[in-house]
Chains A and B, each alone.
Chain A
Amino acid sequence: MQPVTITLDQRVVSGHAGMTILEIARESGLDIPTLCHDPNLEPVGACRLCLVENEATGALLASCVTSVAPGMVINTNSSRVVEHRKNIVKLLLASHPDACLICDKGNRCRLQQIATDLGIGFNELEKIPHTAAVEELNAFITRDAAKCVLCGKCIRACQEIVVEGAINYYRRGFATKPATFNDAPLEQSECTFCGLCVAMCPTGALMEKEKPYQGTTRFSVQSTCSYCGCGCPLTLEIKDNQIVRALPGELDLPRQGALCVRGSYGYDYIHSRDRLTRPLLKENGSFKEVSWEEALAVAGAGLKAVKERYGPEALGVYGSSKCTNEENYLLQKFARTVLGTNNIDNGSSLYNFATRVGLDKATGLLSTTNLLEALEQADLILVVGADPPVTAPRLGYAIKRAVKFRQAKLILIEPRRTKLTNFAYQWLRPRPLRDPALLNSMARTVIDEHLYQAEYVNTQTEGFYDLSEALESFRPEVTADLTGVPAGEVRKAARLYALANKAVIVFGSGLTGAVNGTESIKALANLALMTENVWGSGCGLYPVQKENNAQGACEMGSLPGYLPGYQPVADPEVRQSFELFWKKKLPAEPGIPVLEAVSRGRDTPLKALYVIGENLIANFKGPNHNAEALSSLDFMIAQDLFLTETAQYADVVFPAASFAEKEGSFTNFEGKIGWLQQAFPPLGESLPDWEIILRLAREMGDPLPYSSLQQVINEIEEYVPLYEGYYHPEERLGDKWSYWEERRHRALQSLDGFPGFSSPDVLPGPETEPGQYPFYLLLEASIAYFGSGTRSGKAWRLKSYYPPEVLKISPGDADKLSLSGGDQVSIVSPTSRLAAAVEVSEVVPPGTVSLPASFPNVEQLFGAALPGKGETPPPEACYVKLERVNPNG
Chain B
Amino acid sequence: MDKLIAPPEINMERLGEIVSGYGQQKWSLIPLVQEIQAEFGFIPPAAVPIIAEKLKLFPSEVQGVVSFYEQLYTEPRGRNIVRVCRGTACHVRGGKTILKLVKRQLGLEENETSEDLEYTLETVACLGVCALSPTMVINNQVYGHMNPKKIKEIFKREEGTCS
Contact = CB atoms under 8 A, between A and B. Distances in A.
Given A181-B48, A182-B45, A422-B53, A170 B58 contact: no
B61 to A, nearest CB: 5
A421 B68 CA distance: 29
Contacts of A182: 45, 63
* Majority-rule SS of A interface residues: mixed
A180 B56 CA distance: 17
A310 interface: no
B64 A170 contact: yes
Interface stretch (A161-169, A464-472, A757-765, A853-861): A161-169
Nearest to A172: B68
Interface in B6-50: 45, 48-49
Contacts of B61: 159, 165, 168
B53 A168 contact: no
Contacts of B64: 168-170
A722 interface: no
Nearest to B58: A165
A179 B64 CA distance: 9
A423 B52 CA distance: 11
Interface string A365-409: 000000000000000000000000000000000000000100000
B68 A159 contact: no
A181 B67 contact: no
A449 interface: no
B58 A168 contact: yes
A53 B91 CA distance: 41
| From A166, A172, A181, residue with most partner B Cβ within 10 Å | A181
| From A165, A168, A404, residue with most partner B Cβ within 10 Å | A168
A190 interface: yes
A522 to B, nearest CB: 34
Interface string B83-103: 000000000000000000000
B144 interface: no
A15 to B, nearest CB: 32
B52 to A, nearest CB: 8
Interface string A145-166: 0000000000000010000111
A181 B68 contact: no
Interface in B54-81: 56-61, 63-64, 67-70
A171 interface: yes
A170 B69 CA distance: 11
A172 B53 contact: no
A190 B63 contact: no
Interface string A449-460: 000000000000
Given A181-B48, A182-B45, A168 B68 contact: no
B67 A170 contact: yes
A165 B59 CA distance: 8
Contacts of B60: 165-168, 170, 179-181, 189-190
Contacts of A168: 58, 60-61, 63-64
A833 B100 CA distance: 69
B118 to A, nearest CB: 27
Contacts of A422: 53, 56
A677 B143 CA distance: 76
A605 B68 CA distance: 70
A169 B48 contact: no
B41 to A, nearest CB: 20
Contacts of B58: 159, 164-166, 168, 181, 190
Contacts of B49: 181
A535 B69 CA distance: 48
A159 B61 CA distance: 9
B25 to A, nearest CB: 12
A169 B67 CA distance: 9
A404 B56 CA distance: 8
Nearest to A422: B53
Contact of A181 (B53, B63, B69, B70): B63
A168 B57 CA distance: 11
Given A168-B61, A170-B64, 6 more contacts: A159-B61, A168-B58, A168-B64, A172-B68, A181-B49, A190-B60
Interface of A: 159, 164-172, 179-182, 189-190, 404, 422-423
Interface of B: 45, 48-49, 53, 56-61, 63-64, 67-70
18 contacts: A165-B57, A165-B59, A165-B60, A168-B58, A168-B60, A168-B63, A168-B64, A169-B68, A170-B64, A171-B68, A172-B69, A179-B60, A181-B48, A181-B60, A182-B45, A189-B60, A190-B60, A404-B56
9 residue pairs, one from A and one from B, having the closest CB atoms: A165-B58, A168-B60, A168-B64, A181-B59, A169-B64, A181-B60, A171-B67, A172-B68, A168-B61
